Amino acid sequence: MKVCSGKEMKQIDETAIHKIGIPGIVLMENAVLAVVNEIKKDLQNIPKANVVIFCGQGNNGGDGLGVARHLHNCGMDVTIIFIGDPLLLKDDARTNYNIAEKLQIPKIILNKDALIDDQIATLIEKSDLIVDAIFGTGLSKPVSGIFNDLIDLINFYGKYILAIDIPSGIDSETGAIMGNAVKAHKTVTLALPKIGLYVYPGTEYVGELVIADIGIPKEVIDHAQLKMNVLREEEVNSFIPPRFPRSNKGTYGRVQVMAGSKGMTGAAALTCQGAFRSGAGLVSLGVPESITDILQEKLTEVITVAVHDEDGKFCRESFDDIKPYLKKATVIAAGPGIGQGPQVTEFMRRLIKHARIPLVIDADGINAIAKNIDMLRNLKVPVVLTPHPGEMGRLINKSTEEVLANPIDTVREFCHKWHVILVLKDAKTIIGDPDGQIYINLTGNPGMSTAGAGDVLTGIIAGLIGQGLNPYKAAVLGTFIHGKAGDLAAADLGQHGMLAGDICNYVPKAMKLYYPSS
């Protein structure tokens, strides 16, 4: 599903109105009715509910004024608190204000220099529902003055809050909190979800997210050529690679894993298991010779290939040992648990330089690249990197905090510069490609913050590439399935004490949910 910024949504609205000919008041009324429908669900057991609607002087406020009219018509006790100058209202928002005036819906007008008196606090305290229609997506500067004070008051009383389009105070493009923000229990976003609803810290203020169709034609949205996406449950089955009645292990790809070192055998095992659990037909593990016996004991189904090592780690000569096996492979997964050092860096340099099949690189493989970023120049095959924010920071010489402050631009810029696919792992993982397409992943939970979870993801993505998915699609689906497996594990086991192996074991169950046949 496409996701947009406030600016992009404004352009889409204008196209629908001026080029397609849908009157703006029709779109606003559709938005109003969608919000009212959600309110009726929330207040179905309180027919004479007391509702306070905070309205700004833009179109978001116009939506709020329209909502006030419909709730008033339903017999609810509605009070409008309008912040700003009503004379500055334009077009459709002005129309809804005039209707509310003629219906004599109770209202309080606060100019921007006003002081908040006890009347406002009392109204909030006695309310059953607060509707936030103050800023919407148009906010361009930090919240201050009376707006800041009102948001503090709205949040203070703990009343049920419904935000229209986006909670006031959240930057619609970055998810940043612009000084202060309404903490909603439900957000009804209009036409398309806004980027800031999915990105931290803004996503923590959204509550339940409802995406409301307001009648903008699909052709208009397609014409906008939006590059932000989320993968929704109903879209996943179109991503799942098929299984064929007449097939064998070769049909589903051969994953060549290069992972593990002395003391880090678990990383290699989890990567291999992730590949198998996502459906790979065959998994081969290149592993330092000194720890081969351990991994042969751990892994029943995996082919092990012992390679030269230096103190239990991959070294320059390791590549010569594994090179013949790369000719048989469909995809390479490299990096988990391989350790660090000059020899490891040289091994990764040679692997990337000579690879002729897609590469999925994680963990210490990324750390090796960070020591010599020129490894990524003149790539001959698709490369998927799966860093966490700390590893991402090392790749671009920035702090973890700087990466987290603007993760989408960080991903987009790196993908464009180095022509790679990037999976920036976080609570809302962001997946980007060289063409500027971005997916925000919506699955997963805090129970997945456990050692080895990233190794499982590396294996899953590699396994999906092995089954024929293009690497970007595999990265998007792999991240979704990894998170969904974690959600299933958490539902059965609880988040506390979940292990990476638990996530791995639930991968087939996660994929089964989305088989086209089911």
Which residues participate in the annotated binding site? Answer: 59-63, 132, 136-142, 165, 168, 267, 337, 388, 425-429, 454-455
133 contacts 102 by C-beta, under 8 angstroms: no
DSSP string, 118-133: HHHHHHHHH-SEEEEE
Q: Which of 138, 211, 206, 141 is nearest to 172 (CA)?
A: 138
Q: Which of 110, 126, 149 is nearest to 51 (CA)?
A: 126
Q: Cα separation of 88 and 109, whole Å?
A: 13
Q: Cα separation of 165 and 13, whole Å?
A: 14
Q: Which own/partner pairs from 32-35 qualify as long-range (CB within 8 Å, at least 24 positions apart)?
A: 32/63, 32/66, 32/67, 32/69, 32/70, 32/96, 33/70, 34/188, 34/190, 34/210, 34/212, 34/213, 34/214, 35/63, 35/67, 35/131, 35/162, 35/164, 35/188, 35/212
- Annotated binding residues for (6S)-NADPHX: 59-63, 136-142, 165, 267, 337, 388, 455
497 contacts 375 by C-beta, under 8 angstroms: no
Q: Cα separation of 352 and 358, whole Å?
A: 10
Give the position of tokens 């880090």. Answer: 264
Q: Three-state SS string across 316-327, please? A: HHHHHHHHHHHC
- Annotated binding residues for AMP: 425-429, 454
- Annotated binding residues for K(+): 60, 132, 168
Q: Is the peptide bond before 201 cis (omega within 30 degrees of 0)?
A: yes
What letters, b where the CB count within 10 A reaches 16 and e where it falls short, cover 269-289? bbbbbbbbbbbbbbbbbbbbe
**Bridging pattern class, strands 282-288 and 303-307:** parallel
Rounded to a whole number of angstroms, the distance between the first and last alpha carbons of the chain is 21
Task: Supply 159's token pair.
Answer: 């009343």
Q: Which of 346, 332, 339 is nearest to 383 (CA)?
A: 332
